[in-house]
Structure 1
């Protein structure tokens, strides 16, 4: 706010000779012009009233480099106090989202989130601040959230601010992921060709479905437990496409007469190795199925020979 000799009319304010805005001159000679968002550096202001320009005055605007890197927030989670949050995965289901709180962001800051799960640490993509008023949000794959059901995940973020490019680290959030009681263990690969997935659960009255997660996600047919385990043949086309790549496997469990589906922990394979075969051949099947097919072919061959002898 500034004071000019009392007069009627308006005041035009100039910043380094460039019009910044025009406001009404009050009866007592005062005026007020909000000037948020001015660039860093020295600004020389003047005021013009009825063609008369005031004496200049100078303001030096400096960047505020202070950061308050408090814990991030996991969307849909509730606070448990002291840097802790909790969430029931089955109450929302799907990918998770980490929101970066207001920390004193400036345009050009680069931010990255780190998710420390049950058995792996994952660093997110890097996002650049272009509007400090809009919080940055990072996606966490639903499979990483599922893998932490029954345990805690740790979430934190780093900020790099030019021109020094020093790395600033936030406080850590401890996220408790709730869901079902007890862990549903990850599946295992139990064939020499790495094309058979086994899931175990020590009771009947349940069905299971496996998931193969790579360049694409493929779901197996649903099978019913009749014993302590189920074998799933891994889709051969999916295997061919993901050979040598990091992939994930998990499975889901459903009780008869109940619509709720529960998810297992994740099996991670960093470099998928297996014997590549044509998905149109017998090699795409698990050993037991291959044996059955071969026995059928042998029996059919014998039957055909007998028919032609008649």
Structure 2
């Protein structure tokens, strides 16, 4: 005989079963299980009803929700259906967000209805982050990183301090599981939402050195959410927008100190004594060494002289800490006699296109006895005019063109004050037509061993 409780028969009627539900569930209200949104088929949840004792034709089954005595799904047993399980379709809209109490009421005419015990069910709607139409990034999942990390990335020191990542999304609930994607790191980082976080509707996850597991200038971060029933953010736009940061934990930060010029032997390496230390040299030697030098970095030297910025070919670092040397053409130094140059270099890291500039070496090149400016060329490019100050003795001049081949004119006596016009050989022009060339000239004191005096350079296209 059936037991009674509060006047309602309950012994042989069992609650509906829900195929595919999630059980057990860890939740403060201790539900028997949960209904994920994936069980919604065209607006209905399928319930399985097992036959009750002494089931007969015309018996009636009603599904009751949340204390109501109004049926939300019903069936009358027809002839031939006795003692067989059957399904009922419960409209999904009948379920409340949160805990639902479901009962099965059975009526055996002419007896009074009998009702099952409550089945405590957890149901969540909307899903975490709400329903998002389509695929791609989920705009309701918001990740915020510290401004300095966005701007500068993460080095070893910043990683050791910890990087606080703030996550926000609508419909955050206790027990939600956050999955944080860390640039393909094996085993995504997971976090379970606490009651305090659910109340604040905000989560802060601190990432440490172990989380920044590989150096990557485009280290990818994004997150997704799954609640305790298995409802995922989306349903198709599962992930938040990806945030890319420059992670260089294993790389020593670059400290691009100024280069050295080996021929600059005065004033702590900032002055080239032209006649003593460079007069017979073919090149100025720029030596580059910096903290953070590593394999694959691409380096260029720069010699910004009086009116021209010379840039070297690229050299690639083959071993960490390698000292690189660059040869600056002689004429770049000559063109800065009694003037200044700024010497520097740039470093391009592997996988990037940005040239990171070094500090500059302010270089001075000493003067010679006479200051010789650059020559000038007439419009027809057939006459080169050379200039000189008042001379204290007899001098010879010689012009030079530095192009496909370096060509030198004859040594001739200076016969007039201030300037001399010199015809440019037509063969020189023909040989270099359409090309960039340099003209300069020299003065040599007749009958002495004084150093030859060099002019600045004229740069033209013939």
- Same-fold status (TM-score > 0.5): yes
Provide the secondary structure at the position in 1 that maps to 2:355: strand
1:137 and 2:325 are equivalent in the alignment? yes
**Aligned-residue offset at 1:134:** 3.5
List per-residue Cα deviations over 1:58-87 (Å, max 9, x = no partner): xxxx73231221000011212535xx6101
CA RMSD in angstroms, aligned pairs only: 2.1
Provide the secondary structure at the position in 1 that maps to 2:313: coil
Instruction: From 42, 51, 70, give the equivalent of 2:257.
Output: 70
- Larger RCO (alpha carbons 8 Å, 6+ apart): 1
1:38-53 pair list within 5 angstroms: none
1:261-280 pair list within 5 angstroms: 261-269=452-460, 271-272=461-462
1:116 and 2:304 are equivalent in the alignment? yes
Higher helix fraction (1 or 2):
1
CA distance in 1, matches of 2:433, 2:305: 25
* 1:113–1:226 CA distance, 2 compared to 1 (3 A): same
* 1:79–1:257 CA distance, 2 compared to 1 (3 A): closer
Unaligned runs of 5+ in 1: 1-39, 42-61, 273-310
1:107 — aligned with what? Answer: 295
2:402 — aligned with what? Answer: 213
Unaligned runs of 5+ in 2: 1-212, 215-248
Aligned residues: 209
Instruction: From 252, 263, 284, give the equivalent of 2:442.
Output: 252
**Aligned-residue offset at 1:162:** 1.5
What TM-score does the superposition give when structure 2 sets the normalisation length?
A: 0.43
1:198 and 2:198 are equivalent in the alignment? no
**Aligned-residue offset at 1:141:** 1.2
Q: Which has the larger radius of gyration?
A: 2
Q: Comparing 119-128 with 196-205, which one deviates more in the overlay?
A: 196-205
1:52 — aligned with what? Answer: none
Provide the secondary structure at the position in 2 that maps to 1:78: coil
List per-residue Cα deviations over 1:157-178 (Å, max 9, x = no partner): 1101113444321111000001
Provide the secondary structure at the position in 2 that maps to 1:231: strand
1:174 and 2:372 are equivalent in the alignment? no
